[in-house]
Amino acid sequence: MATKTNLERAIWEERWFWVAALLANCSLAYLHFVVVPAEGWKRGEGLFFGSFILTGVMSGCVFRLTRAYKREIADLKSGATDDSPATQDSE
């Protein structure tokens, strides 16, 4: 199995960030506009907790995304690239 490059990892983390952001925003909008006016905060505690977990997932994605970009910049500064014929043949 071929290892992922730094940019592939960054793209993967960015996708998961936006998935988590979309889910968190939709659940918070549902909580704010539907659940709370109808039934109060007691009914929406689980939804709020789920949104809090998704926010943690988003912050983890940002951390890993930043780390992947830093590694890519360090590789570019050092001149190491994954475009050499030896690494392409092994994949």
**Where in the chain are the domains?**
6-83
Secondary structure tally for the chain: helices H, strands E: 4, 0
Q: Please report how many Cα atoms fall inside a 13 Å half-sphere around the Cα of residue 47, on the Cβ side.
A: 18
Cut 0.85: pTM above it? no
pLDDT per residue as tens digits for the range 17-67 = 999 999 999 998 998 888 888 877 677 888 889 899 999 999 999 999 999
Return d(Cα 79, Cα 69) in angstroms, integer. Answer: 15
Return d(Cα 28, Cα 64) in angstroms, integer. Answer: 25
Is 81 or 87 the better-scoring residue by pLDDT?
81
Sign of the torsion angle spanned by Cα atoms 75, 79, 84, 90:
negative
pLDDT per residue as tens digits for the range 1-20 = 457 888 899 999 999 999 99
pLDDT bin (cut points 50, 70, 90) of residue 89 is very low
